[in-house]
Amino acid sequence: MKVLFIHAHFDDYEFTAAGTFELWRRKLGDKFQAKVLVCTDGKAGHHFRTREETGRVRLEEQAASATMGGYESELLHLTNGQAPREACLQVTPDLLAALWKAIRDYEPDYVFCPPLGSDPLAGIHNDHETIAEAVRRVAYMINVPHAFTPEYPADETVSVPCKVPVIVTVYDGYMFGANAYDFVIDVEAAFPLICEMTWCHQSQIVEWLPWVGRHNMAPPASLEEWTTTLRARFDRKNRELGIQGAHAVEVFRVTAWGAVPTLAQLTVDFPAMQPAASNVAALEERLRLWNHA
Ligand SMILES: [Zn+2]
């Protein structure tokens, strides 16, 4: 099982999918391989550190979280050698090409990415929306060998097919109120580790997020305090989505952008799926129609 998490920023992974990945790792051990691809340089989004320092610190924080979580982390680079600028991410041929290359090189079974909003009243984070749109736009091209060979030169006349992954979207706190979900993973067993991994992102949770004032949080003074804050965030998400119970959960939606799975396959593949809490009947019907079954 190979999974690739693609998102805009350092820390997006920990807040949306880290628990599921951890349960997967516990279930499959060495047979589980995970990579987190961060698509911006992380240099914006701080109020007292310089751009260069912020970018450097964020990269170190992600590396610490990756060691703790047993996953590989990578910063996306465009063909010019630069990571895309945080806050300015746009769907450009360069970005599509870099994503195409990254997905083809890794050949994951599943790709995770942010959701694409459809409600104009919902807030968005520019970079999240761009990654959602870019993954959707590049999805069909994953098995198109020469789609981006001007950027990544190749002139083969015999092409090996590239595996097309199932593409799943995650919860996005920036479009609060407009999120939906198909299935729910109970990640309570991984909650302590999620706390520790998010705690690695000190420049965000202790410094930036309390300052920017959009996240309704005071700076946590210890891991213990942070655990309480994070618990409240998970509880708030459950209330927003109408999910019963006090367990920490992560929620996902299945797209038709890449390969279309069956519900049976998802149930086998995903650890700790909670059918009772999920909208599985609607999902099953949708997947059946998409599979022409
Ligand atoms: Zn983000």
148 Cα: distance to centroid of ligand 1 (angstroms)? 27
245 Cα: distance to centroid of ligand 1 (angstroms)? 27
Per cent of the chain over pLDDT 90 is 92
pLDDT at 276 > cutoff 90: no
- Residues that place a CB less than 5 A from ion ligand 1: 8-9, 12
87 Cα: distance to centroid of ligand 1 (angstroms)? 10
Q: Give the model's pLDDT for residue 125.
A: 96
107 Cα: distance to centroid of ligand 1 (angstroms)? 24
pLDDT, mean of residues 7-25:
98
103 Cα: distance to centroid of ligand 1 (angstroms)? 20
Pairing of strands 183-186, 249-254: antiparallel
Q: Give the model's pLDDT for residue 274.
A: 86
Confidence of residue 215 (pLDDT cuts 50, 70, 90): confident
pLDDT at 20 > cutoff 90: yes
Do residues 36 and 110 touch, judged by C-beta distance below 8 A?
Answer: no
8 Cα: distance to centroid of ligand 1 (angstroms)? 5
172 Cα: distance to centroid of ligand 1 (angstroms)? 8
154 Cα: distance to centroid of ligand 1 (angstroms)? 33
144 Cα: distance to centroid of ligand 1 (angstroms)? 29
pLDDT, mean of residues 83-97:
97
pLDDT tens digit sequence for 164-197: 999 999 999 999 889 999 999 999 999 999 999 9
Residue type, 180: A
292 Cα: distance to centroid of ligand 1 (angstroms)? 35
12-21, 113-122, 209-218: segment of lowest average pLDDT: 209-218
